[in-house]
Structure formats: structure tokens, C-alpha cells
Amino acid sequence: MKTIYSIILTIAFILVILIGGIRICLTHFFIDLEYNSPHLPEDQYGFTRDTRSTLAYQSVDYLLGKISDAEYGAIALPDGSPVFNERELSHMQDVRDLTQIVLRIWYASIAIMLVSIFLAIKLNWRMALRKAGKLAGEIIFIFIILVLCAVFLNFNQLFTIFHSFFFKGDTWLFYVNDSLIRLFPTPFWVNVFVTVGVVSFTLAFFLYFACGTLIKKNKEEV
């Protein structure tokens, strides 16, 4: 029973931390940081920074389910022409669906983690809790290091593999003058991967350090 508990809690810790890093990127705050970064190129086809920010905010809100398909598809430029073409809207629907699934997994993982912590206190399984936290930290360390190595060695290949795994065919490929590419160019996505990696690594470090310290302290007391 305790072994199953440890496995479930370890997985919950990992998902809470990794998806938590992703959730941070799905905020207006992150958009503001990116669009004020000197590393993000200006749009070559006429979008101002304010326009890009507004459209990016709306895109994030769409992924979070705050605006409907109809509202997102109705977003238009000052001349009345739609911002996104049908191919872009179709892809964003796929991304929104995936995002909603991932967020549900995150919420469930948070609930499982909290219940598991409560059980550890009630059943005196504190050592199992600490070992699960330490193991989760170690697994995240390895995973993030591998991902960040891939980001810096060949980001385009990593990006292609990622999209090929989650999306069908070439539905995620667009022209350079399509709005999604103009709003979210390659440097933006590099920073997303790096941000998720840094946030996850930092949280995993604190989890690993805290649990490892408590385990060591318990052994010394014994």
C-alpha cells in the first residue's frame, strides 16, 4: 500500500511542478515580459507591440477557455479583415483542447498531492512522503537537463518532434506572414521552453533539498 502511495505521490509531484511551469507561461505577465524583451524580433508585417500584446492576451485567454471559438474567430484588424485564417483557427482549437486536458491533469495532480500529504500526516507516512518528493526532484532534474540540452543544441528539431507527437500531419505549419507566426516567432518559443525548464528546475531543487534535508535529519535522530 505504501509503495503504491509513493509511486502516485511521486508522479503527482512531477506533474504539479512541470505543468505549473507551463501554466506560468499562459499568463498576460509572461506575454508582457516576452514582448518587452530585446531578444524578441519586431513584426515585419505591421503589428505594433500593443497590437501583438492584445492579440497574444486574447490567444492565451482562448487557450484557457475564457473566450469562445466564435469570439476568437471574430477577432479582426482595424480594416475589418480577420486576424486568423481557417488553418490557424483550426490549430488553435487543437492547442486549446490539449491545454484544457493538461490543466485538468494539473488540477487533479494538485488534489492528489494535497490528499497524499494529509494521509502522510494522519498515517505517519512522513518518510514515504519525503522520499517521494526527493525522487520527484531527481527525475525532474534529469528531464529538464535533457530538454534544455535539446533546446540549445537543435531547437527546431525538438519543436518539430513536440508538434508531431501532439498534432496530426502538418496542421501546425504556417507561412511566415501568418498571424500566429508573427505573434509567436521562434525566439518566443525558445523562451517558453527555457522558462518552463528554469521554473521547474528551481521548484524541483527546493523540493529535493527540503525532502533530502528532512530524510537526513530523521536518520541522525534515529
Determine if the pTM surpasses 0.85.
yes
Task: Tell whether the model's pLDDT for residue 221 goes beyond 70.
Answer: no
181-186, long-range: CB within 8 Å, 24+ apart, which pairs? Answer: 182/43, 182/44, 182/45, 182/47, 182/52, 183/47, 183/52, 183/55, 183/56, 183/59, 184/56, 184/59, 185/40, 185/41, 186/155, 186/156, 186/159
CA distances from 199 to 2, 52, 83, 85, 169 (A): 30, 25, 32, 34, 31
Q: Show the CA angle centred on residue 171, arms to residues 170 and 174, nearest 5°.
A: 85
pLDDT per position as a tens digit, 12-31: 999 999 999 999 999 999 99
Looking at residues 145-171, what average pLDDT do you find? 93
Looking at residues 153-158, what average pLDDT do you find? 95
Q: Show the CA angle centred on residue 99, arms to residues 62 and 78, nearest 5°.
A: 20
Q: Show the CA angle centred on residue 29, arms to residues 25 and 35, nearest 5°.
A: 90
Looking at residues 110-124, what average pLDDT do you find? 95
For residue 121, the cross-strand partners are none
Lowest mean pLDDT segment, chosen from 54-58, 122-126, 191-195: 122-126
- The DSSP code sequence of 120-181 is HHHTT-HHHHHHHHHHHHHHHHHHHHHHHHHHHHHHHHHHHHHHHHHS-TTTT---TTSHHH
Instruction: Output the pLDDT for position 104.
Output: 98
- Binning pLDDT at 50, 70 and 90, where does residue 2 land? confident
Task: Tell whether the model's pLDDT for residue 208 goes beyond 50.
Answer: yes
The rounded distance, in Å, linking the Cα atoms of 60 and 33 is 14
